[in-house]
Chains A and B, each alone.
Chain A
Amino acid sequence: MNNSLIIGQYVPGTSIVHKLDPRTKITIIFFYVFTVFFANSLPSYGVLVVFALASMLTSRVPIRFIMKGLTPVWFLIIFTFILHLFVTKEGTVIFDVWIFEFYSGGVIQGFAISIRFFLLILVTSLLTLTTTPIEITDAIEDMLRPLNKVKFPVHELALMMSISLRFIPTLMQETDKISRAQASRGVDFRTGPIKDRIKAVVPLLVPLFVSAFKRAEELAMAMEARGYQGGEGRSKLRELKIELRDIMVYLLFACVMAILFLTRTYS
């Protein structure tokens, strides 16, 4: 495959963030997301922000690229902030414009929510930026393994996930190719009345489905021809392994959590 094309959102790299076991990353992000809601004092927010920014810098993914990926979210963050500014009526009035009064509580609440939001999005996108979809799937399969006991089809679920992930870029390329071909035949996807634009999707969707079904059939045939028979007794090409660096990162994260819970205010 040509690796100059986008594969998911993954940005290849060799940083420690890239090299960590995907299970470590998922576990830490899970707890991070959870504890973001416990922060309530300036230092406790500080710890979380420092941790997120430090991870971002160590990953060496270009900051410009991460920020560009967050553009749709910026809007939401700013919107939440403004909403809080207008509706929260706590604390003292700090200034008023025309008929609106802005309370200190609104500003603080607005900031708090926006920062939480920003941190959540930042760390989760850091996961997909530094971990290949396949690694994420492997990790999820491994972490869900206990569910096998209750006859939950963990392997099949993971397989479905990895196949879908594998074919997302392919489908995107295909969509691009077909829409270019139809545009050359005079289809206008961008302008004109809504009714025409909806109709313009048909020449795009039909070939896309045709090729997706064809691919699915070919894949099934190829898997069967190579003796695939489900997860039973199947060995793994990529073994997940917890290394020293994973343990170090867990310890570091435990410290972060400790500082957070020490610095948050209890009332």
Chain B
Amino acid sequence: MDITFENVTYIYQPNSPFEHKALDDVSFHIESGSFVAIIGHTGSGKSTLISHLNGLSVPTEGIVSIGDYHLSKEDKPKNMKELRSRVGVVFQYPEHQLFEETVEKDIAFGPANFDVPQDEIKKRIDAIVPAVGLPTSVLERSPFDLSGGQMRRVAIAGVLAVKPDVLVLDEPTAGLDPRGQKEIMEMFYSLHKEQGLTTVLVTHSMEDAVKYADHVIILNKGSKYMEGKPEEVFTQKESLNQVHLDVPEMVRFINSFKERFGEEITFEKQTIKELAQMIKSVVKGAKV
């Protein structure tokens, strides 16, 4: 589903001394099927922004459109539940939402609420549990007996079991060990490719954004600060530093390489291997 924000402003607790403008006149468009990274400093409004995607927040001003669903102050979709079954959200620390007696019941909770038939739920669970990297033996256990990383995977499975068209991820790997982070991101990415999802990823990691996203939106203090392809956005070191963000490691390397050897290499989301090849050809050709 296409996602469009038109001049969206969101104010927490309007008309009180605690009034706080968390989003300020934000506009952008996300094509169906794309993988978008939303980046910004803590408090820049990322979580507020994504809470509009399934109607948890309704814009104070402006319009949010997700496919044929339109959200504005005047006009809310009649069937909010349907919207929520099509937009799956993995919140920050999603393991806090677990509550059932067994892992299986917890994963089944979402799909059951959205009236997916029992046998279909069973089928989905059988497919999803190995996909998120859990052994099938956990299904009968209490989610509260699992490790933090396993709980996270259960919670993620619970969202995926609804089979949404749009997957929204709010810092899904925060607090995991590096290996777990990589596994989970790879899992989301292959899911994105296989099922043609539209994925919106909120992240602090430039590396993840470079690796997976084909479009990047940078927020600063509730406003859209930059937007574009990762290779365009992430090479603008000065602008990024101004909002306390850093460029990805590879861009930093390329910059240092240029300083040291005076040779220009273009950053185009290449892999480490490709970069090594390029360096090799540069070094040979330019006889450094």
The interface of chain A, by Cβ under 8 A from chain B, is: 2, 4-6, 11, 61-62, 64-65, 68, 174, 177-178, 180-188, 202-203, 206-207, 210-211
Apart from A6-B18, A184-B91, what are 8 other A-B pairs with CB-CB below 8 Å? A4-B12, A64-B15, A65-B16, A180-B91, A184-B88, A185-B97, A185-B158, A186-B113
Between A and B, 5 residue pairs with Cβ closer than 8 Å are A180-B91, A182-B97, A184-B91, A185-B84, A207-B96
Is B109 interfacial (CB 8 A cutoff)? yes
A181 adjacent to B94 (CB under 8 Å): yes
Closest-by-CB residue of A relative to B114 is: A186
Is the Cβ of B91 less than 8 Å from the Cβ of A185?
A: no
User: Per a CB cutoff under 8 Å, which of B18, B85, B88, B110 touches A5?
Assistant: B18
A64 to B16, CA, bound (A): 8
Q: Would you call A180 and B51 a contact (CB within 8 A)?
A: yes
Q: How far is the CB of A180 from chain B (nearest CB, A)?
A: 5
Known: A65-B16, A68-B16, A186-B113. A181 touches B96 (CB 8 A): yes
Closest to A190 in B: B80
In the bound complex, residues from chain A placing their C-beta under 8 Å from that of B94 are 181
Q: How many A-B residue pairs have CB under 8 A?
A: 67
CB distance from B278 to the nearest CB of A (A): 44
Chain A residues closer than 8 Å to B20, beta-carbon distance: 4
What chain B residues lie within 8 Å of A202 (beta carbons)?
99
The distance in angstroms between the C-alpha atoms of A6 and B16, with both chains bound, is: 10
Q: Nearest CB to that of B85 among chain A residues?
A: A186
Nearest residue, chain B, Cβ from A13: B17
Q: In the complex, which of the residues A4, A184, A203 has the most CB atoms of chain B within 10 Å of its own CB atom?
A: A184
Q: Which B51-98 residues have a C-beta within 8 angstroms of A? A: 51, 54, 56, 81, 84-85, 88-89, 91, 94, 96-98
Residues of B near A2 (CB, < 8 A) are 43
Which listed residue (B16, B96, B109) contacts A185, Cβ 8 A?
A: B109
**Please, which residue of chain A has its CB at the minimum distance from the CB of B16?**
A65
Interface size class of B (residues with CB under 8 A): 20 to 34
Quote the shortest CB–CB distance from B171 to chain A (angstroms): 13
CB-defined contacts of B158 to chain A, threshold 8 Å: 185
A186 and B144 alpha carbons, distance in the complex (Å)? 22
> Does B18 lie within 8 Å of A4, measured CB to CB?
yes
Do A11 and B113 form a contact, CB below 8 Å, given A184-B89, A210-B144, A211-B96? no
Q: Is B219 an interface residue (CB 8 A)?
A: no
Q: Which B residues are CB-close (under 8 A) to A178? A: 96-97
Interface residue B125 (Cβ < 8 Å from any Cβ of A): no
Complex CA distance for A182 and B56, rounded to whole angstroms: 11
CB neighbours (8 Å) of A61 from chain B are 17
The 9 A-B residue pairs with the shortest CB-CB distance, nearest first, are: A186-B113, A206-B99, A181-B97, A185-B110, A184-B89, A203-B99, A186-B114, A4-B20, A180-B56
| Interface mask (B146-181 → A, CB under 8 Å = 1, otherwise 0) | 000000000000110010000000000000000000
A206 to B56, CA, bound (A): 21
> Is the beta-carbon distance between B16 and A184 smaller than 8 angstroms?
no
- The answer, yes or no, to whether B13 is at the interface (CB within 8 Å) is yes
Residues of A near B109 (CB, < 8 A) are 185, 203
Tell me the complex Cα distance, A174–B88, Å: 20
Q: Which residues of B contact A186 (CB under 8 A)?
A: 81, 84-85, 110, 113-114, 162
Whether B97 pairs with A6 at a CB distance below 8 angstroms is: no
CA distance A22 to B113 in the complex (A): 50
Closest to A187 in B: B113
When the two chains form the complex, which single residue of A11, A180, A207 contacts B17, counting CB atoms closer than 8 Å? A11
- Which residues on the A side are within 8 Å of B43 (C-beta)? 2
With a cutoff of 8 Å between Cβ atoms, the chain B residues found around residue A185 in the complex are 84, 97, 109-110, 113, 158-159, 162
